[in-house]
Amino acid sequence: MSINCIRTLIEDANVSNPNKNALIFGNEKLTYNELFTKVNQIAYYLSELDLPKGSRIGVYSNKGIDQVVAILAILSTNYVLVPLTKLLKPEQVEYIISDCDIKCIITDKIKLESIEEIKFDGHIISYKTTHKDLPSFEEIYKYYNKPYTCDVNGHDNAVITYSFGLSGKPNGIVISHRNLIDSARVVSQYLHLNEDDIISGLLIFNLDYGLNQIFCSLYKRATLALHRFVLPNDFFNHIINDKVTVLPLMPINISDMFDEDIHRLPSTELLKNIRIITSSGGNVTAKMIADIEKYFANAKFFSMHGLTEAFRSTYLDPAQLKIRPESIGKAIPDVELYVIDENANECAPRIVGELIHRGGYIYKGFWNAKEVTEQRFKSIDILKNVINLEGQLTDEIVVKTGDYVYKDEEGYFYFVSRHDDMIKTRGFRVSPFEIESVVEREIKEIERCAVFSIENKEIEEEIVLVYTGRNELNSSEILFELKKHLASYMIPSKIIYKKSLPLIPSDKNKINKDELKKEFILKFID
């Protein structure tokens, strides 16, 4: 079996630290030996399904120890994990099932109803026993006790995660087993993680940043303490009671944790165990940094910048946070970053260009989306005006990120904008096209609509929907309909009616969103 796979970490941890707590979730605990045993039992059952190698298995559930077991069990087979965030609506799940041909779904009792609603005809496995015809983890733990072995190839597909791509439809990015190991290794290195760390499992496991918390814990034989954020008070209790030392967050989590009466926030003394805080998935504001410094006095804060097409590009050293708080930092180990203009020449300091990612952590491409893959994954020949390619093979792949950035005279990078009009909110990338499509399909009274974003420091970008029709509709009716079909983070915060919408002069079929955005800012913000 390859040394470049998560399975080796599970096996090695069982040998070196069998009695140490691997997972904590409230009062539930699982040692590395118990985790290894349960993962083997589920993996053995999955292998007996006798699906073709590379078959996709979805995990669609709320957070819990069984969810982690499911993830690791799939990665202990020759199948491919497809995480399905609990925030997705049934029709979105149905799209992903169809797009990558999911053959089996592992779920909980709550999400089972959503799966039954879409009439999924593949295998379904539930954590808890619900009825006699549906296999469950409870039953598998009782009856599957045979030894389990597997042979995983590091270059095989391991995970397909879905986010919203250029076409407006969710695109799945294909991640290898080697990618997962490399990501755990590099994060453990620059964060200086160790065996004594207790890592918060607050992030959802639908994308690589969240999944990486599981793999870093395994890599360092640390403990992962799971938590579902509901209220700030519960979150701080999780930090204190679980004795968390490493706290991975998204900017929206920082906003939420301090969305509380100041008198109800814990003292710095109670939060002194936190030594590392990380943030990715959006911009960090000055207020967020000030709050972190005030309440987590012993913590080093790492701001990071990742890609859909590669695990991570940059991180900002904590020592630079006050010196250049708006910077996304420098390249992580094993990565080279370049900023090029439209003629593929390297940009001088302070000149904006497109970020090109070369080196480690590059994923395999987009599933079933050749055009999008070709837009993002390029031959290193794109850098021929920047680096000396003499004698080098030009089939090396780099990522043309679509991120427009500049770097300063000391080599620190600064994010400026996206090439496309994707909206980034609450740590998620949202396609305006998908929201517009739902409006067009589901709300017949609306004739035309446009979706765009405005800046909001709390959540990075706020979604605005402007529409036209014969009559103005009650905004609550529109929201009611949208909530049936879209994830919560995709719901517009502002809905505006106009008798007519401006069109682009050169193309009367397209709404002029720039004009709408300017009008909105002038009317509602200025």
Residue type at 260 in one-letter notation: E
Residue 253 lies in a domain: no
Cβ neighbours for 495, distance < 8 A, ≥ 6 positions apart: 464, 465, 466, 467, 475, 478, 479
- Residue 432 and residue 391 share a domain: no
pLDDT for res 276: 98
pLDDT for res 166: 41
How is the chain split among helix, strand and coil, in percent rounded to 5?
35, 30, 40
Output the pTM of the full model: 0.86
Q: Which of 228, 246, 264 is the last residue of a domain?
A: 228
pLDDT for res 167: 46
- Residue 469 and residue 409 share a domain: no
Structural domain total, the chain: 3
Residue 87 lies in a domain: yes
Residue 169 lies in a domain: yes
Residue 496 lies in a domain: yes
- Residue 340 and residue 459 share a domain: no
- Residue 77 and residue 222 share a domain: yes
Cβ neighbours for 85, distance < 8 A, ≥ 6 positions apart: 204, 206, 487
pLDDT for res 165: 43
Cβ neighbours for 208, distance < 8 A, ≥ 6 positions apart: 159, 161, 175, 183, 306, 311
**Diameter over CA atoms, the chain:** 69
- Residue 22 and residue 171 share a domain: yes
Residue 364 lies in a domain: yes
Phi, psi dihedral angles at 10 (to 5 degrees) = -65, -45
- Residue 70 and residue 199 share a domain: yes
Phi, psi dihedral angles at 438 (to 5 degrees) = -65, -45
Residue 311 lies in a domain: no
Q: Which of 175, 193, 228 is the last residue of a domain?
A: 228
Place of tokens 């096996």: 11
- Residue 172 and residue 27 share a domain: yes
- Residue 181 and residue 127 share a domain: yes
- Print pLDDT tens along the chain (526 aa): 789 999 999 999 999 999 999 999 999 999 999 999 999 999 999 999 999 999 999 999 999 999 999 999 999 999 999 999 888 888 889 999 999 999 999 999 888 888 888 889 999 999 998 887 899 999 999 999 999 999 999 999 999 999 744 445 778 999 999 999 999 999 999 999 999 999 999 999 999 999 999 999 999 999 999 999 888 889 999 999 999 999 999 988 998 888 777 878 999 999 999 999 999 987 788 888 999 999 999 999 999 999 999 999 999 999 999 899 889 999 999 999 999 998 999 999 999 899 999 999 999 999 999 999 999 999 999 999 999 887 767 789 999 999 989 999 999 999 877 776 778 888 887 878 889 889 988 999 999 999 999 988 888 899 999 999 999 999 999 999 999 999 999 999 999 999 999 987 655 567 888 889 888 887 765 5
- Burial class from Cβ neighbours inside 10 Å (0-12, 13-18, 19+) for residue 409 reads exposed
- Residue 198 and residue 59 share a domain: yes
- Residue 477 and residue 365 share a domain: no
CA distances from 401 to 76, 207, 237, 285, 309 (A): 31, 17, 39, 23, 8
- Label the pairing between strands 494-497 and 460-469: parallel
Expressed as residue numbers, the domain containing 376 is 334-418
- Burial class from Cβ neighbours inside 10 Å (0-12, 13-18, 19+) for residue 19 reads exposed
CATH number, position 476: 3.30.300.30
- Token readout for 454 is 């405005």
Residue 260 lies in a domain: no
- Residue 440 and residue 385 share a domain: no
Residue 137 lies in a domain: yes
pLDDT for res 201: 97
DSSP sequence for 383-421: GTTTS--TT--TT-EEEEEEEEEEE-TTS-EEEEEESS-
CATH number, position 381: 2.30.38.10
- Residue 344 and residue 212 share a domain: no
Q: With left for phi above 0 and alpha for psi between -120 and 50, is residue 360 left, alpha or beta?
A: beta
Q: Which of 228, 246, 270 is the last residue of a domain?
A: 228
